[in-house]
Amino acid sequence: MNSSDASRYLSTRGAPAGLRFVIYAVLALVLMYLDQRGRWLESIRYGLQAIAYPIEIALNSPAAAWQWSQQVFEERAVLQAENRELRQRLRELDQLALRRQSLERENAALRAIAIPAVDVVEKYLPAQIIGSELNSQQQRLTLDRGAVNGVFDRQAVVAAGGVLGQTMRVGPWSSEIILLTDSEHALPVQILRTGMRTLAIGTGRREQLSLPFLPLQTDIRRGDRLVTSGLGGVFPAGYPVAVVTDVKRDGGAPLAQVQARTLARVDRDRIVSLLWFTPNHPAAPVSPTQNSGGDPSAKPIDVIAPSATPRGETSQGETS
């Protein structure tokens, strides 16, 4: 070690530390204020995410290398078994798809609506998970697709099995998604068996959701499946979300305590899908921000207070 080099730094120099700290503290507070209120820092964040992208790739590389080596050295027998399994699964799905078409037509006839020939999912984009932050405060993933791929804020993300989450912050080449299990995430869901609508709140624990707004006498039991209700403006109706694992009815509390386990499985390839929906499709997500569907001649009625926020202008963080 170079002693003359080190001794220069062994004691404080220049401006007193107290003054520096005050300056930095004020700077931090101003940054927080601007970031929280003004959202002027969005463009800076966009740039920061661009800088973070290579770091994320580098941090993910050991895991990626391990997966790659596993795939390379996988045995022939294992691959054959997997192939057989996938073929079997494909046949099953084919059967389901055949029945789905006829069911969809029958459903449309029953409800006397014209279902467009196109599917509600307009296009999808596979994306790889390159980073994850899974703890009690945050359940977030980073994907390797961003604004250059057309990814937008509050876009639906699904994985094998069901709904995974939605995009939260989109960088140029990467985007951060908030999982259903994040304790700041609430998803409008429907109990498939009864049609009852409620909210599924993340718990901050892996694969765990809670349904805290159900009255005691609600008809819900273990094994009930939850699907998206189509409200909230991010997901269309009918996507699988979770299975109820536990229902506690405590006579003293007015609400039932219901726990559910999410169905989305991130497979070994760590691939998830970003979805784009056909606008104006009957099953497309409904949100207060886009007055789509319904009677187009109906106009919003002015409320008495003229200074009230106009309809269709809701704050961004409403669903998350």
Partner 1 sequence: MRRWSLRHRATVGLLVSFVLQVMPLPAVLGWFRPSFAVIAVLYWSIAAPGWGGVGLGFLMGLALDAYLGVVLGQHALATALVAYIAIRQHLIIRNKSMFEQPFYIAGLLLLWQIVVWIIDGWTGHALGSWTRLLPIVTGTLLWPFAWEWLGGDLSRSRR
Distances in whole angstroms, Cα of residue 48 to Cα of each of 15, 41, 44, 171, 223:
30, 10, 6, 8, 44
Q: Decide: is 265 part of the binding site for partner 1 (CB under 8 A).
A: no
Please identify, using beta-carbon distances, which residue of 190 and 319 lies nearer to partner 1.
319
- Tell me if 281 contacts partner 1 by CB under 8 A: no
Give the chain as a 3 state SS string: CCHHHHHCCCCCCCCCHHHHHHHHHHHHHHHHHHHHHHCCCHHHHHHHHHHHHHHHHHHHHHHHHHHHHHHHCCCHHHHHHHHHHHHHHHHHHHHHHHHHHHHHHHHHHHHCCCCCCCCCEEEEEEEEEEEEEECCCCEEEEECCCHHHCCCCCCEEEEECEEEEEEEEECCCCEEEEECCCCCCEEEEEECCCCCEEEEEECCCCCEEEEEEEECCCCCCCCCEEEECCCCCCCCCCCEEEEEEEEECCCCCCEEEEEEEECCECCCCCEEEEEEECCCCCCCCCECCECCCCCCCCCCCCCCCCCCCCCCCCCHHHCC
Per CB under 8 A, contacts with partner 1 among 39-78 are 41, 44-45, 48, 51-52, 55, 59-60, 63
Q: How far is the CB of 5 from partner 1 (least distance, A)?
A: 5
According to the binding rule CB under 8 A, does residue 261 interact with partner 1? no
Q: Hey, which residues between 143 and 172 contact partner 1 (CB under 8 A)? A: 168-169
Binding mask 203-222 for partner 1 (x = CB under 8 A): -x-x----------------
Q: Should residue 295 be labelled a site residue for partner 1 when binding is judged by CB under 8 A?
A: no
**If you search the block for the tokens 């003293």, which residue do you land on?**
252
Q: Does 103 bind partner 1 (CB under 8 A)?
A: no
Give the footprint of partner 1 on residues 228-247 (CB under 8 A).
none
Q: Does 7 bind partner 1 (CB under 8 A)?
A: yes
To the nearest whole angstrom, how small is the minimum distance from the Cβ of residue 291 to partner 1?
28
Is residue 259 within the footprint of partner 1 (CB under 8 A)? no
Token pair in block for residue 230: 């189509």
∠ Cα 306 310 315 (to 5°): 135
Please say which residue, 131 or 188, places its beta carbon nearer to partner 1: 131
Q: Which of residues 178-197 bind partner 1 (CB under 8 A)?
A: 182-184
Minimum distance between the CB of residue 28 and partner 1, rounded to whole angstroms?
4
Which one among 64, 115, 134, 266 touches partner 1, defined by CB under 8 A? 134
Q: Does 86 bind partner 1 (CB under 8 A)?
A: no
> Please, what is the minimum distance in Å from the beta carbon of residue 251 to partner 1?
27
**Shortest distance, position 138 Cβ to partner 1, whole Å:** 8
Site membership for partner 1, residue 304 (CB under 8 A) = no
The bridge status of strand 175-179 relative to strand 121-134 is unpaired
Question: Which span (75-83, 128-136, 191-199, 302-310) binds partner 1, by CB under 8 A?
Answer: 128-136
Interface residues with partner 1 (CB under 8 A)? 1-3, 5-14, 17-18, 20-21, 24-25, 27-32, 34-36, 41, 44-45, 48, 51-52, 55, 59-60, 63, 131-138, 140, 168-169, 176, 182-184, 204, 206
